[in-house]
Every structure is written in C-alpha cells, then in structure tokens.
Structure 1
Amino acid sequence: MEVVGLSGSIVLAADDPAVLAAFYAALLEVEATPGLGPSHWRVPWPAGGQLEIYVPSRTRPQPHQGGRLALCLQQSSEGRDAMTVLTAWLEVAEHLGADQAEPPRQEPFGVEAWLLDPEGNRLLLLVS
C-alpha cells in the first residue's frame, strides 16, 4: 500500500486553546496561528508538523489524565553549561505559566526538568 500526502501532528485537548497555544508558541519562539475553527490553534512543532490545540467536543469530552505520555522540547547547549541553559529555559516556562513538577537533574543524556503546562499536561525540557 502506498501512502500519499501523509503528514503528522500532535493533538492536545485544552480548556482554553488560545492560552495554551500562546504558552507553547512563546516557549518555542514561534507564532501560533488560528486553526480550522474558533476553538482550534496550531503551533509549529520543531520536529516538523504542528501542535494542534483544540477544545474537545462536548459529545466526546477528553478527560484530564496523567499517563506516561508527555511533550518534550529539546535544545542543544552548544558548548555552554547545559544546566545554565536549562535553568534559563525553565525560568521562561515558569514565567509563561508552567509549574515545576520535579527539579532539574543531570542524566546520562543531558539535563532535564519535568513541568506541568498551564493546563496540567506533562512537559519535559531537555538540554543536551
């Protein structure tokens, strides 16, 4: 089977899509754009595609859930101290409305910090 015109995106249900789109756009230093309707926003995703943020249907609501799935934003330290880069990025995220879920820590693959975005979704900031 040949798949033609295939693309991908990440879908995130939100109580206030405009606010959550503004959060991710500011954190990624990109511009959010309106989507297919008044309760739908799109944010360009660094790996390609879009982060699609929308209000779920009232007939098929999306419950808030913890789970093990999380968004991950990653940047290179480019010769700078990785913890310093992460700390500065973390300050920006918190200023934009994120809450720190776990303090930053060094891992074999880089330094990371687990956050909750303004709607409580898990978010990992990773600097390698």
Structure 2
Amino acid sequence: MSADLTSDLLDLTYRADLDILVGRWGYQPAVEQLPAVYEQLRKQGQESGCRFWLQDIRRRSFNDPVTTQWLLTKFFPAMGRQLGAQLCVAYLASPTLKEAIMAGPSFRTPEFYDQQPFVVAFFGDEGEAISWLHERQRRQALG
C-alpha cells in the first residue's frame, strides 16, 4: 500500500504465496475515514485480482452498523462481481468484537452466502482463518 493517510490505519499486503490479500487494521477508525480506506482496499483487490481476503480487525472495538450494511449490500457484492468469482472475506477479530458481531442482527453464518457473490466469516485465530480461506480456494478451484 502506498504511503498515504490510510497507511497507519490499514496495512494491505498481497501474499502471492498464499493468494491472500491481508489487511491489518491499526486502530478503530472514525466513520469518516472509511470511504478512503475501502477505496484503497478495492484498488488493491483489483490490482492483485485476489478474491481471498484476511481482514485483521483485532485492534478495532466496534463495527459501525451503517458501514456494515453498506459492505454487505454494496461493496462486497460489487467486488465479487468485479473479481469474477465469489469474494471470500475472513475477519480476524478480538473475542469481544467477534462476540458482538455474531450477536448482531446482520450476522449470518458462511452457509448463508452460498449463492451470493461474496462470503464472510469471523475467526478468533489467524490459523483457522487462513485454513478457511484455503478451503474456499480449493472449493473454487474444483468448481
């Protein structure tokens, strides 16, 4: 990711060896910061052509419901269509944030997304998140 205003907020790295786009969030952003950050994420996703994303949000303390709704109804579906296959996003969250997200009204299990252009899953362990992404890669490779 280029050195810009979002670099300390979101460090993006495409891991070609894993075919995973890793985003590590440095802190809880103000809602006003999110459009520019998600634009960087969109650009990096398109440049790499990677459909398998690990988003490390362990340093974030809450999810804005309006942003979450936008991600689920606009951003992720559009990215899946632009990338030509299902976008798979594994969120690595702190125990408290993960519990809050999973108890929220917009939470769905990964199976809910089977026929959607994207799928989202939440994890407390990075190894489990990467294993899930690898399983998704295998499924997509098999068609």
TM-score normalised over the length of structure 2 = 0.26
Q: Larger % of strand: which? A: 1
